[in-house]
Amino acid sequence: MKFEKGSTNRARELALKWLEENFEEICASIDCGLPEYDDRLDVWRISVKAIKNTNISLGEIQIDRKLTKIVDYTEKNLMLERYSKLQKKSGAESRKKGLFYPAPIPNKVILGDSIKVLENFPPDTAQLVITSPPYFNAKTEYSEYVDYQEYLDFLRKVIVRCHTILSEGRFFVINVSPVLIKRTSRNTSSKRIPIPFDVHKIMDSVGFDFIDDIIWEKPEGAGWNVGRGRRFKADRQPLQYKPVTVTEYVLVYRKRTDKLIDWNIRNHYDHSLVEESKILGDYDVTNIWKIKPGINKNHPAVFPDELVRKVIRYYSFKDDMVLDPFGGSGTVGRIAYEMERRFMLIDREPTYYNLMKEVLSELIDGNVRVDYCTENDFIDEESE
Relative orientation angle of helices 350-363 and 331-338, to the nearest 10 degrees: 20
Model-level pTM greater than 0.85? no
| pLDDT per residue as tens digits for the range 47-105 | 888 876 666 788 899 999 889 999 998 888 888 888 887 777 666 555 555 788 888 89
Contact partners, residue 87, CB within 8 Å, separation at least 6: 50
Task: Please give the pLDDT value at position 379.
Answer: 61
| Letter string b/e over residues 226-258, b meaning 16 or more CB atoms within 10 A of that residue's CB | eebbeebeeeeeeeeeeebbbbbbbbbbbbeee
3-state secondary structure (DSSP) of residue 16: helix
Task: Please give the pLDDT value at position 141.
Answer: 43
- On the question of pLDDT at 296 being above 70, the answer is no
Classify domain 7-97 by CATH number.
Answer: 3.10.450
Classify domain 107-209+254-284+292-383 by CATH number.
Answer: 3.40.50.150
Residue ranges covered by each domain of the chain: 7-97, 107-209+254-284+292-383
Task: Please give the pLDDT value at position 142.
Answer: 46
Of the candidates 158, 206, 199, the residue with the CA atom closest to the CA atom of residue 176? 199
Task: Please give the pLDDT value at position 78.
Answer: 86
- On the question of pLDDT at 4 being above 80, the answer is no
Q: Name the range with the highest mean pLDDT among 182-191, 304-313, 369-378.
A: 304-313
